[in-house]
Amino acid sequence: MTNPFVQPIVSNRPAGHPSPAVDDRDSVLFADCPELIGTPFAYAREEEIYGEGEDAEFVYRVVAGAVRTHKVLSDGRRLITGFHLPGDLFGFEQGESYRHTAEALSDTKVRIFRRRQIERVAAQRADVACHLWDMAANGLRGAQDHMLLLGRRSAHERVAAILLDVDTRLGGTGTFELPMTRRDIADYLGLTIETVSRTFSLLEAERALVRSGARTVTLHRARLRRMVED
């Protein structure tokens, strides 16, 4: 049976909006809440998921791939406000419209949930409300960490910190493929792309990381942690 809210999502987007994906993993928003079942969608690399100012009708969970959220400032500069990796939730706004634009960094699969349905269930179930409270607290902590990263750290420390963060969020193996470009990293860290490229080269020369291929990196996590802590 067709999910009852697939068609509204498709009709609200321009021609070429992706068709529902077939992957049924991570179908529920919270493991103990079968009432909140999402619809699978797939987005191509660089495809917009939603735009700043659009009605915030839906909440998204990343199943595979990666998403960036950003704002374009009045002078044309782009400020990336977050990277969302598998398992992350994004698009849950306090107001009635999205404050940022969300785009897929690579071919990406998500689950889409109706915001109003989540709010109705949360009003009836304390455990769901607690889940949402935890999400809000995590979002606040992430915003505070980002503020400290921009305000108090050198380029070395900023790049080391984001590499450690991405590694942790992707499983903590120490070897991973960067889901974002150097320009994305620059716009997130408040640096120029030249500074980011030079910092990667310096970190490699210091044996804090090894690069292989276009985006695959292997981290010497102890050395990177010392840079961040010092």
Average pLDDT over all residues of the chain: 85
Cβ pair 45, 52 in contact under 8 A: no
pLDDT in tens, 41-81: 999 999 999 999 999 999 999 999 999 999 988 888 899 99
**Tokens standing for residue 144:** 């505070």
Class of domain 153-229: mainly alpha
CA distance 88 to 217: 22
pLDDT band at 230 (very low <50, low <70, confident <90, very high): low
Domain boundaries, the chain: 6-148, 153-229
Residue 47 is given by DSSP the state -
CA distance 220 to 44: 32
Query: Nearest-CA neighbor of 26 among 128, 84, 138, 110?
Result: 110
pLDDT in tens, 169-204: 999 999 999 999 999 999 999 999 999 999 999 999
Q: Do domains 6-148 and 153-229 have the same CATH topology?
A: no
CATH of 6-148, one of 3.30.465.10, 3.40.50.880, 2.60.120.10, 3.40.50.10490: 2.60.120.10
Element (H, E) at 200: helix 193-205
